[in-house]
Amino acid sequence: MATILDGKAIRDEIAKDLSSKIQNLKSQPKLAIIQIGDVPESNTYIGQKIKFGQSVGAIVDHIKLPEDVTMEDVVGKIEDLNSDTNTHGIIVQLPIPQNLDKAAIIESITPEKDVDGLHSVNVKKLLDNDPSGYIPATTKGVITMLEHYNVTISGKNAVVIGRSALVGKPTALALLNHDATVTVCHSQTKDLPKMTQAADIIISAVGSPGLVTKKHVKPGQVVVDVGTTIVDGKLKGDVAFEEVEKVVEFISPVPGGAGPLTVASLFQNLLKAYEGQNA
Ligand code: NAP
């Protein structure tokens, strides 16, 4: 049986650490979350961020904009927040309506407040392995999880399944920055089991329940499941947990693995933003 990579336990430790640090600040760090429209999943994710943020003593300002908001109004709101010295982090909850220019909206956030790490300045810093930037929260959470369990990354073969700008690519870059040899797989990859079998560390970020089975793994591996899909009202990861955990050395569950760490990592980024803006 594999050791479970317990994201909730690590999240709780991060929460304690954040609470004690925030208590000692002159003012409370404030995160602005801009929500455009009313996607039900976004409501759930924002609810989790508000709950965690408040539990560690941060202020979370949930700004709701209507589905038919104009680009001008969204960018205007972001510019107000950019110049508000009491707001330290700004995120736009994705997805946003198709008619809006997502890239232009993200680029309008000042990089110092881009705690989701999606602005091109922060993407470049991740490319350059420059620690002054913000790493996207899910990626940061994956690295935190591996480090917490003393999983050696340097020199290991890592396979990341998924190549999105939000999860797959930044996670591949972060692992590369930690000296792993990284292979990125995607929907056009031929023979996924052959690629994953050759890995020491597998990170799956697809959103396809049951994609990673016992035929994809071998003993001694570390498997982190980032995928989340609702199936019959239940949250499912990409990994066929029951059969894979019998084979590998470490495995993260869904729920209770990467998800809780994503939220905690966002607030670690917020504290870093606060400190940067109050240095
Ligand atoms: P996405 O933009 O839909 O990207 C999915 C990726 O999976 C794409 O690169 C796609 O390849 C690849 N893919 C699809 N089918 C595949 C297959 N059969 N074999 C190999 N690769 C395949 O999704 P995302 O935003 O990156 O999110 C990925 C998953 O992580 C989702 O389930 C999402 O809900 C979850 N997520 C979880 C957290 C968390 O906190 N736990 C945070 C963010 C996201 P192509 O590029 O070729 O299409």
Q: In which residue are the tokens 């760090």 written?
A: 29
Active site residue 93: yes
Let me know if residue 105 belongs to a domain: yes
Ranges assigned E (strand) in the chain: 3-4, 30-36, 59-65, 89-92, 157-161, 181-185, 201-204, 222-225, 229-231, 234-236, 250-251
Give the mean pLDDT of the chain.
Answer: 98
Residues 242 and 169 in one domain: yes
Q: What is the pTM of this model?
A: 0.97
pLDDT confidence of residue 219? 98
Which residue has the CA at smallest separation from atom 3 of ligand 1? 206
Q: The domain that contains 38 carries what CATH number?
A: 3.40.50.10860
pLDDT confidence of residue 4? 98
Active site residue 169: no
Residues 99 and 181 in one domain: no
Q: What is the mean pLDDT of residues 3-20?
A: 98
Residues 98 and 161 in one domain: no
Let me know if residue 230 belongs to a domain: yes
pLDDT confidence of residue 200? 99
Task: With beta carbons less than 8 A apart as the criterion, state whether 191 and 216 touch.
Answer: no
Write out pLDDT tens, residues 223-267.
999 999 999 999 999 999 999 999 999 999 999 999 999 999 999
Let me know if residue 269 belongs to a domain: no
Active site residue 84: no
pLDDT confidence of residue 102? 97
pLDDT confidence of residue 221? 98
Task: Give distance in angstroms: CA of 134 to centre of ligand 1.
Answer: 21
Task: Give distance in angstroms: CA of 208 to centre of ligand 1.
Answer: 8
Residues 145 and 250 in one domain: yes
Give the active site residue among 30, 35, 93, 169. 93
Let me know if residue 89 belongs to a domain: yes
Residues 179 and 217 in one domain: yes
Residues 211 and 167 in one domain: yes
Task: Give distance in angstroms: CA of 162 to centre of ligand 1.
Answer: 5
The parent domain of residue 215 ranges over 137-258
**Interatomic CA distance for residues 132 and 124, integer angstroms:** 11
Residues 153 and 247 in one domain: yes
How many structural domains comprise the chain? Answer: 2
Let me know if residue 90 belongs to a domain: yes
Q: The domain that contains 154 carries what CATH number?
A: 3.40.50.720
Mutate which of 118, 186, 229 to test ligand 1's pocket (most atoms within 8 Å of Cβ)? Answer: 186
Let me know if residue 8 belongs to a domain: no
Residues 251 and 141 in one domain: yes
Residues 153 and 94 in one domain: no
Residues 145 and 185 in one domain: yes
85 falls in which pLDDT band (50, 70, 90)?
very high
